[in-house]
Amino acid sequence: MKVNAEACLIDGRCYAHLQSYANDSCQICNATENRNQWTRDYSKCMVGTQCFSEGSFRKNDTYCWNCKPNINNGNLTLDDDHCLIDGMCFQQLEADPSNKCNICNVTENTNSWSMHNNMCLVGNDCFENGDFKEGVPCMNCKPESNKNYLTLDPGFCFIDGDCYENGKSKLGDLCDMCDVSVNITRWTSITGCHKLPNQGLAPHVIGIIIGVGVLLFIAVIIVIVVSIKFKKQSKIDPMHTSMPHTKPDEGSDGDSRTTKGIADARL
């Protein structure tokens, strides 16, 4: 039997040129190479006993692994715009679910997280560009300066965990001030300034004075209220008070009767 030059005769059956084997699509009839046996199709990827066409990926597997026969036709290849981190697949610039400061950046590393270029990672805390730590507004994220620490704003001192503007004096001590040209983490003593005795206690003294003043004010109010109430109770209402009955003066009545008797005698 004469076999067509554009066909293969394999295991007693005839197959057209480039026709795939039914049980293995990576095997084809290649009449130009071998017309009597199956020929490996190198335009596909053969991984173990599985055959993948170009661009396809294994079912139930991470989609970032696919067939790129021009790179490797004996295995699946990591996609150009994906990272494989801890066995999971992430697209380019996709963030770490547990920390948004970490992203997939295939230009840096396809097997581990890369630091986001527009964020700061300080310890375990992630800050976006311009964000500041609660209660510390002078320290904020400036990734162009430092991605691992918060950066102090110009014109501020950061002393004992608090922010102070340049030129601001220490509370209770006017001889110490924030001078960014000298030190941004310590107070700067003002030349020629003489501290008053117990100047550092001024805030406490003021607090005591205010407290005593408030107590005195309350005491005065109480005295006034009690005094007014007492006066109201002791005041006599003339509309409800009767005049006392006085006994007639016997001497006066006698004089009246005597005078009347003299007048009668004259008549």
pLDDT at 203: 57
pLDDT at site 172: 82
- Return the pLDDT at 196: 59
Residue ranges of the chain whose pLDDT lies below 70? 1-3, 59-63, 195-206, 235-267
CA–CA dist 11, 1 (Å, integer): 14
| CA within 13 Å, CB half, 41 | 20
Give the pLDDT confidence score for residue 211 in this predicted structure: 83
Contacting residues for 31 by C-beta, under 8 A, at least 6 apart = 5, 6, 7, 8, 17
pLDDT tens readout for residues 58-81 = 765 566 888 999 999 999 998 888
